[in-house]
Amino acid sequence: MELLHWVFSFPAMLGAFLVGLVFSGGRAFFVDPDLWWHIRNGQNILATHRWPTTDPYSFTVAGTSWLAYEWLGDVLLGFMAKSGLQALDGLLITLASLVILALYYYSTLCSENSKAGFVSSVLLCPLAFGSFTLRPQMFGFLFLILTLIALELFRRGRQRALWFLPPLFVVWVNVHGSWVIGLGLVAVSLATGLFEFHIGSVEAQHWTKEQRIQLELMLLASLAMIPVTPYGTRIAAYPFMVASSLPINVANILEWKPMPFELFGGKLFLGTLVFFFAFQIMYHFTFRVSQWILFLGGTITACMHRRFVLLFVAFFAPLLATMLARWFPRYIPSKDKFALNVILMVGVAAAMFWYFPSRPALDRIVEKEFPVRAVNYLRNHAVAGPIYNTYASGGYLIWALPEQKVFIDGRGDLYEIGGAFAEYLEAADLKPRAFFVLRAHGIRTCLLQRNEPLATALGEHPDWQQVYGDEVNVIFVRREEPLAFDLAARKQTAARKE
């Protein structure tokens, strides 16, 4: 009976409404272009029981060293994809719901107020939803919040909560490179508990000797999990490589660009910061030094790279909930109306079941964003290769047309290291060497988005002919065999790479 009361309690009902809110956004099935190559890679690992060590999908960097750094996430995506788009959308909604529910629990735990935790999570959902795409990073977001929860429970006297961390890191290091941030959270928690002080709105609480030793042991145990991968310790270098040696990716990939303050999401982010500092000035809330460090770190990283906005959300949610708790009375179990909670929760579940998108609806969503019809044309017509493709369509080609090697896809780090990313930008941005790049690689066919600059240029070029077009994509083929100039261009490219 006590378990039923907990399952159908008022805080649980609020959690059900959060799931419904996530569902309302997730049913639109926003598909990141990288999803498709993650699926193909996972299915290849499942089929062969081998982990790639060189690039198997492109002709521009074929043979270049490449590790499937997120292989475990790829395997899950590949397994779910066997059941179709509805299974993938269900996985997206499930992962996003778990992230928001974990955020709700963490905010409630820190503020000691489920209503404040709920409102905090709802207010931050618009910032979080932009990052909810079906990629291995979703697991990283979830594990990040679970780490914060474990540390908070430990701080509140639940000593066994830290035992959860080493097995979590075993999975995390094989799923996504954000495990480095997780280790950083443990290190920050340990370091900020070495002193005790209270200055203005900042306080630090001293760990006992037993707590400090346990934190140190769990940090060391978590570090020991890093080599437990199919690639040994080599996988540990990936996050640092991404952060330090990929200037072309950082300058050109949308998610690596700074926060767009001119757009709604950027304005909402800025407004959230203004709200926080205004209320902090008025009411002088006191937060732990670790919370301030994480909040400031999350704010800076989100401003520098919009992909880190979920870090900001995770670090800011407990601060916002603590502020809101000032105006929300705490939950009193004796006043709970369990029958009403059951009715509302069943209503949310029924609505989700009724409005879950059909397979044709999901097909239409994918068709509007990816070259579905263009790939069907390539399957049914003898089109000469190699094929030049856009960055956004490469992943879909790997998944839908695996026999055709791609020019580029979403593995930007690989293509920057191999030199193909810079060449792609020459062609995609229609720079002076654009046609030289096509000749150097012997490109016979181009699969392009309808309105991109190169498509416009090829449409006016006498050596190229459009053989297919729809609302999303166009396909051009060369009219003639490569000339001597093309062969010379290839030799120059090979010499430059050497």
Nearest alpha-carbon partner for 174 in 218, 222, 227 = 227
Question: For the chain, first and last CA: distance in Å?
Answer: 72
Q: Looking at residue 360, what is its pLDDT?
A: 94
Bigger pLDDT: 31 vs 289 = 289
Q: What is the pLDDT of residues 340-368, one digit of tens each?
A: 999 999 999 999 999 999 999 999 999 99
CB 378 within 8 A of CB 447: yes
Q: What is the pTM of this model?
A: 0.92
Residue with tokens 């050497």: 498
pLDDT of 485 > 50? The answer is no
For residue 421 the two structure tokens come to: 């990313």
Q: How many CB atoms lie within 10 A of CB 347?
A: 13
- Element at 476 (helix H, strand E): strand 473-478
For residue 321 the two structure tokens come to: 């909930």
Q: How many CB atoms lie within 10 A of CB 18?
A: 21
Percent of the chain past pLDDT 90, that is, above it, reads: 81
Which pLDDT band, with edges at 50, 70 and 90, does 5 fall under? confident
Which pLDDT band, with edges at 50, 70 and 90, does 409 fall under? very high
Q: Looking at residue 243, what is its pLDDT?
A: 65
Considering all CA atoms of the chain, what is the largest pairwise distance in Å, rounded to the nearest integer?
86
Least-confidence region, from 287-301, 442-456, 475-489: 475-489
**How high is the mean pLDDT of the chain?**
91
Angle of helix 289-304 versus helix 179-191 axis, rounded to 10: 150
Edge-first strand listing for the sheet containing 287-288: 197-199, 202-204, 287-288
Average pLDDT over residues 232-242: 83
Cα pseudo-dihedral 48, 52, 53, 56, rounded to 10: 110
Say how far apart CA 250 and CA 245 lie, in whole Å.
9
Which pLDDT band, with edges at 50, 70 and 90, does 297 fall under? very high
112: left (phi over 0), alpha (psi -120 to 50) or beta: left
pLDDT of 227 > 50? The answer is yes
Percent of the chain past pLDDT 70, that is, above it, reads: 96
Residue 331 amino acid letter: Y
